[in-house]
């Protein structure tokens, strides 16, 4: 199988290394610093057990350097994809499967009715055909400590499904390939529900951590902050009910799961500390937009969205406008 990976950071590096080790032909689009590092030293991958391997994959900064792959894995942040989507068109052949492995609400979540918060110019939807796109939810943690380096921290779970619902032959086939590459793959008849369930926790913990600089345990230890978090989660669950994405877990149970992470720094907090643009719209802006569309009041979500958006703008942690 020929695999293209767009974005060779924490998640993209993990998929690239695993699939290369499984015998697939892998190439990657990456930034100049990463391309230079991989060409000189290879993609350096460290497993969660501490074992290091080097993967000599093809890398470039320009999509025109490669032919369309069988599978195109997109491991960019949503706001970056919105800016770069049109440049990926040369990689999407008539038989190419597009697999976004991104946080938050994807552009395809409402079908052809693209979300302005995630795809403001419509470039993603017009560049990456919905008919060739699979839904994915990734439950794992990895880091990219330096260009061309990837370290797997924990988690192996990848859920796949058709964006419009159901499990197809192509979903099963790709799930099998990823399983042979070391991922704990599952298939879902309603991948939208899986997307919303993961988002249910991320959309609160991430922006609150970015605003406060606090790790997950400190956020939950503050009674007032936890109360605010709970109120926002109740609102998001109400939106989920309206769009056929009900939450089957209680708020208490989800908080108990988060507590097990201990002093865990969310990805948005790590980006804030590193001065990188924040993934706000896909994680909480989309929830605000969908809530407005379906008529569900979300005052706590709105406040959180406004605060983290203002913080990002004031500190220069945004892309685009």
Catalytic positions, written as ranges: 198
Q: List, by residue range, all CATH 3.40.50.720 domains of the chain.
A: 2-189
The CATH architecture annotation of domain 2-189 reads 3-Layer(aba) Sandwich (3.40)
Over 90: is that where the pLDDT of 318 sits? no
Average pLDDT over residues 137-161: 95
Per-residue confidence (pLDDT) for residue 320, from 0 to 100:
45
Residues 6+ apart with CB under 8 A from 116: 289
Q: List, by residue range, all CATH 1.10.1040.10 domains of the chain.
A: 193-314
Buried b (16+ CB within 10 A) or exposed e, 238-258: bbbeebebebeeebeebbeeb
Q: What is the pLDDT of residues 213-262, one digit of tens each?
A: 999 999 999 999 999 999 999 999 999 999 999 999 999 999 999 999 89
Do 157 and 101 form a contact (C-beta atoms < 8 A)?
Answer: no
Over 70: is that where the pLDDT of 319 sits? no
Q: What is the pLDDT of residues 301-316, one digit of tens each?
A: 999 999 999 999 999 9
Per-residue confidence (pLDDT) for residue 85, from 0 to 100:
96
Average pLDDT over residues 295-299: 98
Residue (of 283, 252, 226) closest to 106 by Cα position? 283
Fold of 193-314: 1.10.1040
Average pLDDT over residues 91-100: 98
Over 50: is that where the pLDDT of 126 sits? yes
The contacts found for 297-305 with CB under 8 angstroms, 24 or more apart, are 297/235, 298/232, 298/235, 298/236, 298/238, 298/239, 299/235, 300/228, 300/231, 300/232, 300/235, 301/203, 301/232, 301/235, 301/236, 304/204, 304/207, 304/208, 304/228, 304/232, 305/207, 305/280
């Amino acid at each position: 199988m020929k695999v293209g990976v767009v974005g060779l950071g924490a998640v993209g590096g993990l998929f690239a290394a695993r699939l290369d080790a499984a015998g697939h032909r892998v190439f990657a689009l990456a930034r100049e610093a990463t391309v230079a590092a991989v060409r000189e030293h290879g993609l350096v991958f460290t497993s969660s057990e501490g074992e290091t391997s080097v993967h000599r994959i093809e890398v470039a900064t320009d999509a025109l350097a490669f032919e369309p792959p069988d599978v195109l894995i997109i491991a960019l942040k949503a706001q970056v994809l919105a800016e770069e989507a049109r440049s990926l068109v040369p990689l999407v052949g008539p038989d190419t499967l597009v697999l976004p492995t991104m946080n938050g609400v994807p552009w395809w979540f409402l079908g052809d009715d693209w979300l302005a918060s995630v795809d403001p110019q419509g470039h993603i939807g017009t560049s990456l055909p919905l008919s060739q796109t699979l839904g994915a939810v990734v439950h794992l943690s990895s880091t990219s400590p330096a260009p061309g380096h990837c370290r797997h921290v924990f988690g192996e779970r990848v859920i796949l499904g058709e964006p419009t619902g159901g499990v197809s032959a192509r979903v099963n086939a790709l799930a099998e390939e990823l399983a042979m590459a070391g991922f704990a793959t599952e298939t879902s008849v309603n991948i939208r529900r899986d997307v919303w369930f993961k988002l249910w926790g991320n959309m609160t913990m991430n922006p609150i951590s970015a605003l406060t600089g606090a790790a997950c345990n400190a956020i939950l230890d503050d009674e007032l902050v936890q109360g605010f978090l709970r109120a926002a989660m109740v609102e998001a669950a109400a939106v989920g009910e309206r769009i056929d994405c009900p939450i089957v877990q209680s708020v208490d149970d989800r908080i108990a799961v988060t507590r097990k992470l201990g002093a865990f720094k969310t990805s948005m907090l790590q980006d804030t500390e590193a001065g990188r643009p924040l993934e706000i719209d896909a994680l909480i802006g989309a929830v605000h937009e969908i809530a407005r569309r379906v008529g569900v009041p979300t005052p706590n979500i709105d406040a959180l969205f406004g605060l983290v958006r203002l913080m990002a703008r004031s500190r220069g942690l945004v892309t685009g406008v």
